[in-house]
Amino acid sequence: MESVRTLAGMIDHSLLHPTLTDEQLEAGCALAKRYATASVCIKPYAVPRAAEWLEGSVVRVGTVIGFPHGNASLDIKVNETERACRDGAVEVDMVVNIGRVLGEDWAYADREIRAVLAACRDRRAVLKVIFENDYLKEDRFKIRLCEICREAGADYVKTSTGYAFVKDTDGRWVSRGAADGDLKLMLRHAGPAMKVKAAGGIRTLDDLLRVRALGVSRVGASATESILKEARERFGTDPP
């Protein structure tokens, strides 16, 4: 029998959309608290308030660095990380410099990841490194990033921000997000100590169950309530 609480404990409840108001952010934290999700991943300016709203709960405060395009300079990413941790974040999702990755400047990618990781370690925060796989068409980029993250000691590698769109063959702009092929590749190259987070397109209970079956440890989702309501209806266990 599936446990709703176990499934909730896989979810980083995403509160990152630019249109979300402070009232909606507070409501999102209350929802995460009610369901006991793993964390909230909230807009950086709201981290101090999230720490207040979630005080006394099991829900961890997370935020994003260099989001969503990864273009900030290395020192800015480190400063963002330090500030977020001072404000109460204990989980950090950082976007790599995608252009540098595509240019195969692996020394820079390594230096950036290690610098942000060091800032996290100084404050006992978890680091999740976001690849933005929609932009990395060739598997070799994802494999090399997994190797760099594994060697540096990052806690998680993560597929996507959920905010990347690429032009499809029919001219439409689409976002694949957490594609199964990418997840299998990342799981294969993550090694035994590093975990994988799926983000982008996790909207239903079946999406969550599918990526969990692959071996994913965390998911980023904004559809948390509907996913967990569906889980309660299907499994009838662990009501919040």
CATH number assigned to the domain comprising residue 8: 3.20.20.70
Contacts of 27 (CB under 8 A, 6+ apart): none
Task: Give the chain as a 3 state SS string.
Answer: CCCHHHHHCCEEEEECCCCCCHHHHHHHHHHHHHHCCCEEEECHHHHHHHHHHCCCCCCEEEEEECCCCCCCCHHHHHHHHHHHHHHCCCEEEEECCHHHHHCCCHHHHHHHHHHHHHHHHHCCCEEEEECCHHHCCCHHHHHHHHHHHHHHCCCEEECCCCCCCEECCCCCEECCCCCHHHHHHHHHHHCCCCEEEEECCCCCHHHHHHHHHHCCCEEEECCHHHHHHHHHHHHCCCCC
* Residue 225 structure tokens: 């309530």
Inside any domain, residue 238: no
pLDDT of residue 172: 78
Query: Does 75 qualify as catalytic in the annotation?
Result: no
214 part of a folded domain: yes
Residue 195 domain-assigned (yes or no):
yes
- State which residues form the domain around 16: 4-233
pLDDT of res. 238: 52
pTM (two decimals): 0.95
Q: Is residue 176 part of a domain?
A: yes
**Chain Cα centroid distance, residue 72:** 18
Asked about 167 being catalytic, the answer comes back as: no
Looking at residue 176, its pLDDT comes to 80
Q: What is the mean pLDDT of each run of 10 residues along the chain (240 residues)?
A: 87 98 98 98 98 98 98 98 98 98 98 98 98 96 98 98 83 83 98 96 96 98 97 74
Q: Which residue among 33, 128, 142, 158 is the active-site one?
A: 158
Catalytic entry in 12, 33, 93, 195: 93
User: Is 41 domain-assigned?
Assistant: yes
Catalytic site includes residue 110:
no
pLDDT of residue 174: 72
The residue annotated as part of the active site, out of 128, 142, 195, 197, is 197
77 assigned to some structural domain: yes
Q: How many domains does the chain have?
A: 1
**What is the predicted pLDDT for the residue at 56?**
97
Position 186 in a domain: yes
Asked if the structure places residue 239 within a domain, the reply is: no
